[in-house]
Chain A
C-alpha cells in the first residue's frame, strides 16, 4: 500500500514538472513558428573544421611564452621558467584561425555531481595518449609523442614527451604507467573486473617500463585497434576514469599515500576516518577523481580548483600544461572556466538564451532552437548546429523476450521487424522533433563514415511504405483484425499489443516521439503501448528481460569498434537492450546466455575479428557489420545525424577560434576535439 502511494507521489511531482516543461516550451513557441521556417538548415550548419596537432618538429616553436598571471609567479620565484615547465617535447596545436590572447573567464552551467562529463569534455584537453583529428576519423598523437607497433601488432611502444610534468611540477614518466597497472589496475579491490580494452580476444595484456620515457604494451595476440582505443573515450583514456580506478596512468608520487601497499594500516585507517569514508577504496577513488579532488596532480590544460560537488565547479589553468600553440604560447588562453550549478534544465536553457553563458552545448535543448535564434543579438551569441554522425533515435527489439512467446516469436521474424520499420513516417518525426535538421534513415552511420556500407543502406527498410508493410504483415499470418482495425494475435488471445519502454529527461524526447510512432503504427494495425519509466526501473526491467521494445540513440556507434553498445547486444546492463541473453553469450565467450541466430552471430564474429587485423581489412569487416544491421533490422533507425544530442551550440560572438561545425560525439569529447584550450577572448 505504502509503496503504491509513494509511486503516486513521485508521479505527481513528475507530472507537475511536465506542466512546467510544457509551459516553458509554450513561452518560446509563441514566437517560434515563423522563425523555424526562415532559419534553415544551411545557415546554421557550417563547414567541418578544427585545430590541428603539429607533429613535424621543424614546425615547432623555438621559444615559449606564458600567461602574464604565470609570469608574475615566475618573477616571484614561485614557479620555474616556462620552458622548464613545458619540457623538450611540447604538444603543439595549430589554432583553427589565429594565435589568441591570454585572459578572461569562460562561463557555463552544469547540473550536479553526476554531470562530470561536462567538465571532461570542455577542459580535460583531452588528456588521452592519442586523440582524434578534427574529423574524428584519424588518430593523432596527443599526450604521447607517438606510438610504435612491433611484433606484428602484439607489442606497442608508447613514446612519452621528455620533461613533461604533472600539474604539481613532478615529472610524468613511464613509472606512472607501471604504477597504474601494477598497483591500481591489478588491485582486485579497486578493479574487480579487468577492462576489455586492455585485452585482445579475451586475453589480458601487460604494461611495462622500457625507459623513463618509453612504455611497452604487450598482448598475447595482435591488437591493431590499440591506437583507436587510446584515442576513444575508453577506460584507458585519461584521468577522467580515475574515479573508477582506470585511466592507463596515474600520479604515483601523489596516490601512493592512499594505498595499503605503501602506507601503514593504522595511518591509512586514520585518513579514511578523518575524511569520513567507510573504506580506503572509497577514499582512494575520491582522491583519484579529476573533478572532485583539487589536490590531484593532472595533465590537462585546466585543473579543478573548486570541485564538482559544490555550487560552482571552477577550473583554472595548469601552469605545467604541455599544450602550446604554434607561436610557443602555453595553452590554454582562457584563465578560468566557471561552471555554475543549474537546478534544472529549464533554468540552464533560459540562462543560455539570456546570454549568461559564454559557450554552451551540453543540455541545450534542440526544441528551443527558435528561441535561441530569436535572442542571438540580444545575448551577443551565435547559434551553430553540430549534427552527430549517428542515429538520434533507434528502437531496439528485445530478441530474447520470452515472457510472451508469441511476441518473442514476432520479434525474431525479420519481416515483422522490417514491416514495423516501414510503418514509421520518419519525415513527420524529423519535422516535428528535429525541426527538419535531422536525416531520416536506417541505423547506419553518416555516409562519409569509413565503415558506412554504401548510400543504399540508409533507405533500406527505412522509408514510409504503409502498403508494403501491411502486405508483409498479412503474409506473416497476422491478417485478422479486430473492430478497431488492429491486428489479432496468431494464438487467438486477442489483439497483438506491443510495449515500448522510454526514459524521460534525456537529450531526445523519446516518450513524445514514441507517442507519434504509436499513431503512425495504427495505419499498419499495430497497437503500441508507450511506457515511460524511471531509469532505475528501466534497468531492472531490462535485466529481468521484461523489456519488449526500447527507445534510445546510437551515439558513439560511428566509431563501430570502440563503441558497439548499440549495434548488437554487447552489454547485459543496458537501459535499452536488443537481447540481454545474447549479450551474456557474447561476453562469456559462448559459455552462458543464449546462442544468437546465425546472422547475428556473423555480425558479432566479424566485429571481434576486426581487432586483430590491419586497418584495411577492418574497414571491410566494419562495412559487413553495418550491412547485416541494416538488412536484418534488429534495431530500427528513425532519424539521425541531427543536433539533438549536445549539437546546439551557443557561443559568444567575441570568442575566437570557434569552428563553424565540429565533430560531435562522445568519442570526440566534443568540444574537446576542437581543443577549447585554443579558444580565446577577442576583446
Chain B
C-alpha cells in the first residue's frame, strides 16, 4: 500500500513539472503580451503609450527575453515560494490569489457538501423505489438540473431575488460587511449569502450524482447477494446500506479528482454572473490582460489540484472498495 502511494506521489511531481511548462507555454500563445494589452487598454481610454515607453515597459517586466529565459526566471522564483508580481494588480501574485483563495474554497466546499447531502439520499430513494411517483419527481428535477446551464439559472435567481426579495445583488457579503474585520456578524453574513451560489454551483453536479447513484444501485440491487441477504431475513435498511450502497459509492470517491480543481477555479461563468470574489473571474481577467505570472500561477494551481485530487481519490477508492486493492497487488 505504501509503495503504491509512493509511486503515485513520485509520478505526481513529474506531472506537476510538466504542467508548469505547459501552463507557461499556454499563456504565451495569444498574440501580443501584457504590454500590448496595456497599450490597448490605454488607447480605449484615450491615452497613448509611445513606442519607447512600450519598449521600456517590456524591459522592466522582462518581456523582451526569450521564452525559456522567462520560464527559468519564473521557476527560480517559484522554488523560493515567490510566484512573481502580477502586472495588472501591481501586487505579488501570492497576495492576489490569497485574497480570494479561501473564499473560493468555502464556496466550493459548501456546494460539494450540498451536492452530497442531496444526491446521496435522493439517489438511494430513487433506486429503491424505482418508478414510484417520488422517483419520477426526483428524475424530473434531476433532468432539469442537468439541462439548464447554471449561469442562466444564476441570472434568473439574481433577477427574481432582486425583484421579489430585495436581495443584495451578487457577492458574498452585504456592502457594510465587505471591509469589516472578521467576527461572528460577518461570518453570519457570509452564511446568509452562501446557499444561493452553493445551490447554483451544485445543482448540475447533484443531478448527475443522483442519476449515477440510482443507476449503480439498481445494478447492485439485482445481484444474487442481495437476494440472499433478504432471504436470510435481514432488515431492508441493513440489506441496502451494508453492501449495495457501499459498492455504488465508487463514483462519489472518484469524482474528488475533478472536484479539487473546481475548488480553485469555481465555475468561472457562474462566479462572474454572481459577482463572487473567487479565483475564477481572476483567471479570466488575467488571461484577457495577459498578466502572465498571475494566469500561469492559477493554471499551475489548477494542475496541482487535479493531480492531488486524483491521488486522493485513488487512495479513497482503495479504502472504500477492497476489490481494487486485490487487483493492485
Contacts and interface: CB of A to CB of B under 8 A. Distances in A.
B286 to A, nearest CB: 10
Contacts of A20: 151-152, 155, 269, 272-273
A563 B60 CA distance: 29
Given A282-B60, A289-B90, A310 B99 contact: yes
A540 B31 CA distance: 8
B228 interface: no
Interface string A511-538: 0000000000000000000000011111
A277 interface: yes
Given A114-B88, A276-B92, A342-B275, A573 B170 contact: no
B110 interface: no
A147 interface: no
A343 B44 contact: no
Interface stretch (A135-143, A350-358, A653-661): A350-358
B312 interface: no
A536 B171 CA distance: 30
Nearest to A27: B159
Contact of A192 (B53, B171, B275, B288): B53
Contacts of A16: 149, 151, 269
Contacts of B170: 342-343, 347, 350-351
A150 interface: no
Contacts of A184: none
Contacts of B273: 20, 344, 346-347
Contacts of A39: none
B36 A343 contact: no
Interface in B168-189: 168-171, 175, 178-179
A87 interface: no
A292 B151 contact: no
A66 to B, nearest CB: 25
A69 interface: no
B6 interface: no
Interface string B278-300: 00010011011110000000000
Interface string A1-44: 01100100010010011011001100100000000000000000
B224 interface: no
A140 to B, nearest CB: 23
B40 A538 contact: yes
A343 B40 contact: no
A565 interface: yes
B45 to A, nearest CB: 6
Nearest to A378: B166
Given A278-B85, A575-B40, A192 B52 contact: yes
B326 interface: no
Interface string A112-154: 1110010000000000000000000000000000000000000
A536 B290 contact: yes
Given A113-B88, A575-B44, A535 B37 contact: yes
Contacts of A354: 162, 166, 168-169
A539 B26 contact: no
B32 A537 contact: yes
Interface string A230-271: 000100000000001000000000000000000000000000
A666 B162 CA distance: 33
A113 B87 CA distance: 10
Contacts of B288: 534
Contacts of A575: 40, 43-44
13 contacts: A23-B155, A112-B88, A192-B55, A278-B62, A281-B60, A312-B178, A341-B277, A354-B162, A354-B166, A354-B169, A536-B36, A540-B36, A575-B43
Given A244-B53, A350-B169, A536-B40, 20 more contacts: A10-B287, A16-B269, A20-B151, A24-B155, A27-B159, A117-B45, A281-B56, A282-B60, A310-B99, A343-B275, A346-B155, A347-B170, A350-B170, A353-B162, A536-B30, A536-B36, A539-B40, A540-B36, A575-B43, A666-B46
Interface of A: 2-3, 6, 10, 13, 16-17, 19-20, 23-24, 27, 107, 112-114, 117, 189, 192-193, 233, 244, 276-279, 281-282, 286, 289, 292, 306, 309-312, 314, 338, 340-344, 346-347, 350-351, 353-354, 356, 503, 506, 534-540, 555-556, 563, 565, 571-575, 666
